[in-house]
Amino acid sequence: MTNDSSKLALFQQQTETRQKIVEAITHQFATEDEGLQHTLMAAKRAGLPEIQISPIQGKLLQLLAVACNAQKILEIGSLGGYSGIWLARALPTNGRFITLEINPTHAMLVHNAFVQAGVSDRAEVRVGKALDLLPQLQNEAPFDLIFIDADKPPYPQYLEWALRLSRPGSIIVADNCIRSGKAFEEPEDEGMAGIVAYNKRIATDPRFISLALAMDDDYTDGFAISVVQR
């Protein structure tokens, strides 16, 4: 074998191994129940983009929520309600989950998904631009966990609000903070500028202890996780 073809073979083997690992972890630790599967199908049928978090990311959100004994959770960016169901299920029955969504069609699907998954007693979608809705949440704060997954340019502003609406020990998670490594380089557009600034801020501000983790389906994107320092 030439050097190039053996390199290619090794690369293909590694890709397959990674896929096998993701499948095995998903199967053993993060299987979707009917509620989650139904939500994905309804979103697909309605033509929503398939940009929801992975099952492993859903399970990680649950684990983090339980770790901080979350009673109140806030999400920015609902899509079809998939991540919302993972999060709402980590709450006690008297817990509160609020998710913010700008698109009324998405919000309608989210409402239906929460009813159908049996979490509408604790989970609610609010319709509007996140930056308009966030100031209205101050009465309902502090939130124990805040998940940021909406439009990317205002990520640093979402972080400001997350900090304002949290308590020491709250966990702040943001999706899409790796972007194949672009999240750590000179940004090429407004969206990347938001994410690059977000990462810089959580990495350097002493009020957070943070880590960006490449952990989505193909290890090229993932969460940045921060804990608000006590």
Q: Fill in the per-residue mask, 64 to 93: x = in contact with ligand SAH (CB under 6 A), - = not in contact.
A: -------------xxx--xx----------
Say which residues have a Cβ less than 8 Å from residue 198's Cβ, sequence separation at least 6: 155, 156, 159, 174, 177, 224
What is the C-alpha to C-alpha distance for residues 183 and 21, in angstroms, rounded to an integer? Answer: 25
Of 174 and 228, nearer to ligand SAH (C-beta) is 174
The binding track of 47-86 with respect to ligand DHB, each residue x by CB under 6 A or -, is: ----x-----------------------------------
Query: What's the min distance (Å) between Cβ of 167 and ligand DHB?
Result: 26
- Give the nearest distance from C-beta 86 to ligand SAH in angstroms: 8
**Which of 100, 117, 192, 227 is the binder for ligand SAH (CB under 6 A)?**
100
**Strand ranges inside the chain, DSSP E:** 72-76, 96-101, 123-127, 145-148, 171-174, 208-214, 222-228
Q: Let me know how many helices (H) and strands (E) the chain has, helices first.
A: 8, 7
**Which residues contact ligand SAH by CB under 6 A?**
51-53, 77-79, 82-83, 100-103, 106, 129-130, 149-151
